[in-house]
Amino acid sequence: MTFGLAFLAAFVIAAGLAPFAGLRADRTKERSPAAAQNERITALDGAAIYVLFIAVAITVVRIGEPLSWHYLVGFLLIPPTALKVWTTGSRFAQYYGGSATFRQTGPPPLFLRFVVAPVLLASTSSCSRQGSSSGPSGSRSEAAGGRRTR
């Protein structure tokens, strides 16, 4: 329960700081339609993921209730997460592949590229794999990382 409350607090803080993220000076650069479209899709998908992560945090706080809600929200997170990986990976590949369209827009900050993104990708894929492998048919102890005993 403590983890869920800390998770919710982190999301509230992130939501409060989000409007300031767009105030960077390099955001005034001219973007091509393809780069702008990629950015819009990534941002809208990020908003959907944000809402679903809040739902996951709520199910963690109320973990005494049936885990089926937690699994449902977790499985609903898989398609938007896959889309987010695709759109950001596509931008990454096109930028480093030398596409003038994406080079003109410029790269994200170094910290986001080489620290945050790899850690976030590894942790998200790990949690998704663990949750989908235990699934709704698994026992409560199995979902928590324990072994099933019969």
Q: Is the pLDDT of residue 150 over 70?
A: no
Residue 46 included in any domain: yes
Task: Give residue 67's pLDDT.
Answer: 77
Q: Give yes or no for a contact between 56 and 21, defined as CB atoms under 8 angstroms apart.
A: no
Higher pLDDT, 38 or 17: 38
pTM of the model: 0.68
Task: Give residue 148's pLDDT.
Answer: 45
Task: Return the half-sphere exposure (C-beta side, CA atoms, 13 A cut-off) of residue 63.
Answer: 12
Residue 48 included in any domain: yes
Position of tokens 């945090």? 57
Secondary structure (3-state) at 12: helix
State the Cα–Cα distance between residues 27 and 18, nearest whole angstrom. 14
Residue 105 burial by Cβ neighbours in a 10 Å radius (0-12, 13-18, 19+): buried
Residue 8 included in any domain: yes
Residue 43 included in any domain: yes
Task: Give residue 35's pLDDT.
Answer: 87
Task: Identify the domain containing residue 80 by its residue range.
Answer: 2-16+28-140
Helix ranges (H only) for 22-146 are 33-61, 68-96, 100-105, 110-111, 117-134, 140-143
Q: Is the pLDDT of residue 2 over 80?
A: no
Mean pLDDT for the stretch of residues 134-144: 54
Residues 85-119: pLDDT tens digits?
A: 999 889 989 998 988 888 888 887 788 788 888 88
Task: Give residue 147's pLDDT.
Answer: 45
**Per the structure, how many domains does the chain have?**
1
Residues 37-62: pLDDT tens digits?
A: 988 898 898 888 888 888 888 887 77
Residue 150 included in any domain: no
pLDDT exceeding 90 applies to what percent of the chain? 7
Residue 145 included in any domain: no
Residue 105 included in any domain: yes
